[in-house]
Structure 1
Amino acid sequence: MSETVPSPPPDAARLQAPVARLLRPLVRLFVRSGITFPALADLLRELYVNVAEYDFALPGKEQTDSRVSLLTGIHRKEVRRLRGAGAPVSAVPAAVSRTSRIIARWLAAPEFTQADGRPRALPRAGEAEPSFEGLVASVTRDLRPRAVLDEWLDRGLVTVDAQERIVLAEAAFVPKGGGTQQLYYFGRNLHDHIAASVANILEEKPRFLERAVHYDGLSPDLARRLEARAREIAMAALQQANREAHAACETDPGGEARWNFGIYVYAEDAPRPEPTA
Structure 2
Amino acid sequence: MTKFANNGQPPKALIAAVQRLLRPLIRGFIRFGLTYPLLSDILKRTYVEIADEDFRIYPDKSPSDSRISLLTRVHRKDVRKFRAEDMAPPLNLSGSSVAAQIIARWLGRDDLLDKEGHPIALPRLGENSFDTLAREISKDMHPRAMLDELVRSDTVRLDEDDIVHLNINAFLPRKDFDELAYYFGLNLHEHIAASVHNVSGKKNPFLDRSVHYSGLSAASVQVLKVDAERIGMAALLELNAKAQKLEAKDRSGTDTDQRMTFGIYFHHDRESKDE
Q: Normalising by structure 1, report the TM-score.
A: 0.60
Distance 1:268 1:87 in 2: 42
Partner of 2:269, secondary structure, is coil
Distance 1:231 1:238 in 2: 10
Rate the CA distance shift 1:87–1:190 in 2: closer, same or farther, 3 A. farther
Distance 2:24 2:197 in 1: 22
Cα displacement (A) at 1:8 = 3.1
AA aligned opposite 2:22 = L
Q: Does 1:222 align with 2:250?
A: no
Report which structure shows greater RCO (CA 8 Å, sep ≥6): 1
- 1:78 aligned partner: 78
Alignment check: 8 A CA contact 2:52 2:62 kept: no
Cα displacement (A) at 1:202 = 1.2
- 2:164 aligned partner: none
Distance 2:259 2:4 in 1: 26
Distance 1:39 1:17 in 2: 23
Alignment check: 8 A CA contact 1:230 1:265 kept: yes
Cα deviation 1:58-101 (Å, max 9, x = unaligned): 1154410110111111111111001155798xxxxxxxxxxxxx
- 1:212 aligned partner: 210
Rate the CA distance shift 1:7–1:20 in 2: closer, same or farther, 3 A. closer
Rate the CA distance shift 1:52–1:85 in 2: closer, same or farther, 3 A. farther
Cα displacement (A) at 1:203 = 2.9
Alignment check: 8 A CA contact 1:7 1:204 kept: no
Flag structure 2 segments of 5+ consecutive residues without an equivalent.
89-173
Alignment check: 8 A CA contact 2:69 2:75 kept: yes
Partner of 2:250, secondary structure, is coil
Rate the CA distance shift 1:194–1:85 in 2: closer, same or farther, 3 A. farther
Flag structure 1 segments of 5+ consecutive residues without an equivalent.
1-5, 89-175
Aligned-pair Cα RMSD in Å: 2.5
Cα displacement (A) at 1:223 = 1.0
Alignment check: 8 A CA contact 1:9 1:201 kept: no
AA aligned opposite 2:268 = A
Rate the CA distance shift 1:218–1:47 in 2: closer, same or farther, 3 A. same
Alignment check: 8 A CA contact 2:4 2:11 kept: no
Q: How many residues align?
A: 181
Correspondence list, 1:187-198, <5 A: 187-198=185-196
Distance 1:240 1:252 in 2: 19
- Percent of aligned positions with the same letter in both sequences? 43
AA aligned opposite 1:192 = E
Alignment check: 8 A CA contact 1:217 1:272 kept: no
Runs of 4+ aligned residues of structure 1 deviating over 4 Å after TM superposition are 84-88
Q: Does 1:47 align with 2:42?
A: no
Alignment check: 8 A CA contact 1:53 1:83 kept: no
- 2:239 aligned partner: 241
